A = this chain, B = another copy of it.
């Protein structure tokens, strides 16, 4: 059980956590940490944790930083996924990560909400997408007992709408923040529909 809940240590992980904590709401940060644990469960369940492309540190970075576009540093002038990817890339560059690794994290964050596409990109993008959407409630074939360990350690409040609220708020800031066929446009449509 301890292993399932372990998070990477070191300067990179600390920098990611600090930046997310400083610029995101607590609920979005917790969603991001749960997303990492779910993503690693997927990697473990599917055996890709042993692939040469698997990198625990990058997966932690991608998951913990994936919603920076919903935080205080986002400009609201592009999709939140892209603004988050850019913020993450800048942070990782400051931390001295190689360009190829920064590009992988950028892609994972930029495409994390692209259902049916993210799962066909690189492993990091796939796992980040899966982790985020398992926390978002999508079906998974991971044994419920394993999921429960994470839900117990990092409980999600009942009826938590914080992510949808943040997406709607960001989406309303400009047309480019909510282009057609984006999760942002869809959330805006739901929120604006007559009830």
Contact = CB atoms under 8 A, between A and B. Distances in A.
Nearest to A120: B82
A70 interface: no
A163 to B, nearest CB: 14
Interface in A111-160: 111, 113-117, 120
B82 A113 contact: no
Contact of A116 (B78, B115, B186): B78
A187 to B, nearest CB: 9
Contact of A181 (B120, B176, B182): B182
Given A181-B182, A181-B186, A117 B114 contact: yes
Contacts of A183: 180-181
Contacts of A179: 115-116
A63 interface: no
Given A110-B120, A120-B110, A115 B180 contact: yes
B186 A115 contact: no
A67 to B, nearest CB: 16
Nearest to A82: B120
B115 A111 contact: no
A116 B176 CA distance: 7
Contacts of A37: none
Contacts of A115: 179-182
A121 to B, nearest CB: 8
Contacts of A120: 82, 85, 110
A182 B180 CA distance: 9
A24 interface: no
Of the listed residues A116, A120, A182, A183, the one surrounded by the most CB atoms of chain B closer than 10 A to its CB is A116
Contacts of A31: none
